[in-house]
Amino acid sequence: MRCVLLLLLSCLLLGASEPPPTSDIDRWVSFFNPDLYALAGRWPATPIVGAFDAPASDIARDTARATWLSLAVFLPFLVLPQVLLVWIIWKFRDRGDGRRAATFVGNHTLEIVWTAIPIIALVIVSVAIWDLVVKTELPPADQRRDMVVEVRGKSFAWDYKYQRLGGERPTRREDQIEIGQDVAGLQEPLVLVKGRRVILNLTSNDVLHAWWVPAFGVKKDTIKGRYTHTWFTPERTGFFKGQCAELCGQGHGIMLISALVVEEPEFALWVELQRRRAETVRTWTALAAREVDPAALDAAVAAYLERGADPWRLFALRYWMASNLLSWSRRPNEFPRDPDGTQATWIAARRALLEEAIARWQARGGPSTGS
């Protein structure tokens, strides 16, 4: 009865009508962090795209449009003089008939024309991009429903703190999620909601960095000791890559950024997973040991489940162990290989150990026999 009530409560909280996707752990791990599946080797394989070909935010869309307009207006200024130059060189070439080149000094009409035309071009572009300039320089007036994230650059990774999740629900203290690098030190993606404006407050722990995701159309320096700000509204779901855009040291080239834009129900699921994450650390410590001690694993699983064994908590435990194992297995130098095993079999074996520990806990009768 208690489990059913907890499940109903979870469903209400999540706005979902279905039980948690317990049987589909791998799909959700890959959904929330595609980089973990991107490559069998060390480096994430998803490319950085989207500045002009597939903008994914309001700012990026407007920036792409402004860039194409500028190009269309200013390209003739690049092309026309070159065409004229080639034509004049050919037309007035030395024909060997002794004619001398004519010289001119000053032509007011010509000077007025070649001053006026660029001014008109600049005015056309300025008028067209005025709204975008204002939008990117002035903070949004009404931020009550916005997501607010603190972005912290450090050599050579990014930490994120969700100061506000945004949307209709007020953000509770436990919802102030902090993410950054996972158990294996791999950069975690920033997770955003389609259609929900996000305000980034950026700073740095050390040197200058710059948070740049081309598909969102924003690039902002992070500076130690002060905050810079930028904002945009993601308009497409998907996985978008970027990277540090301020030369910051030896690891600058691998200071990658990934951002995942999801719909509201998936974001609610992600929040629920994050809220339970810290509680899974003990189980992970037991499961990641070179030699798993079944007693220690049983104790860790019991400690976690005794605080609540509803399907969402079980889902969160399985999710984080699957995610951690996958990430951990991508450390080729430190990966604890079985003598004759592969990473996949190692992952499967560890997940089987977890399932056995859960089964033993359930066989013991759950919370009532745990104490």
Interface residue list for Cu ion (CB under 5 A): 209, 244, 248, 252, 255
Whether a cis peptide bond, with omega within 30° of 0, leads into 156 is: yes
From the CB of 211, what's the least distance to Cu ion, in Å?
10
From the CB of 245, what's the least distance to Cu ion, in Å?
7
- CB-nearer residue toward Cu ion: 13 or 247: 247
> What does the alpha-carbon distance between residue 296 and residue 71 come to, in Å, rounded to a whole number?
64
- CB-nearer residue toward Cu ion: 193 or 210: 210
- CB-nearer residue toward Cu ion: 152 or 277: 152
From the CB of 181, what's the least distance to Cu ion, in Å?
16
From the CB of 273, what's the least distance to Cu ion, in Å?
30
Q: Which residues contact 161 (CB under 8 A, 6 or more apart)?
A: 149, 150, 152, 176, 177, 178
Burial class (CB in 10 A: 0-12, 13-18, 19+), 244: buried
From the CB of 254, what's the least distance to Cu ion, in Å?
9
From the CB of 43, what's the least distance to Cu ion, in Å?
17
- CB-nearer residue toward Cu ion: 61 or 209: 209
- CB-nearer residue toward Cu ion: 149 or 255: 255
> What does the alpha-carbon distance between residue 174 and residue 279 come to, in Å, rounded to a whole number?
13
Handedness of CA 342, 345, 348, 354 (dihedral sign): negative
From the CB of 224, what's the least distance to Cu ion, in Å?
13
From the CB of 326, what's the least distance to Cu ion, in Å?
27
- CB-nearer residue toward Cu ion: 204 or 233: 204
Which amino acid is it at 47?
A: P
Q: Which residues contact 271 (CB under 8 A, 6 or more apart)?
A: 165, 175, 177
Q: Which residues contact 358 (CB under 8 A, 6 or more apart)?
A: 301, 305, 314, 317
From the CB of 42, what's the least distance to Cu ion, in Å?
19
From the CB of 244, what's the least distance to Cu ion, in Å?
3
Which amino acid is it at 134?
A: V
- CB-nearer residue toward Cu ion: 154 or 351: 154
- CB-nearer residue toward Cu ion: 252 or 282: 252
- CB-nearer residue toward Cu ion: 79 or 247: 247
Q: Give me 283's structure tokens.
A: 């189980």
- CB-nearer residue toward Cu ion: 246 or 310: 246
Tell me the CA distances in angstroms from 84 to 52, 265, 350, one per residue in order: 31, 60, 72
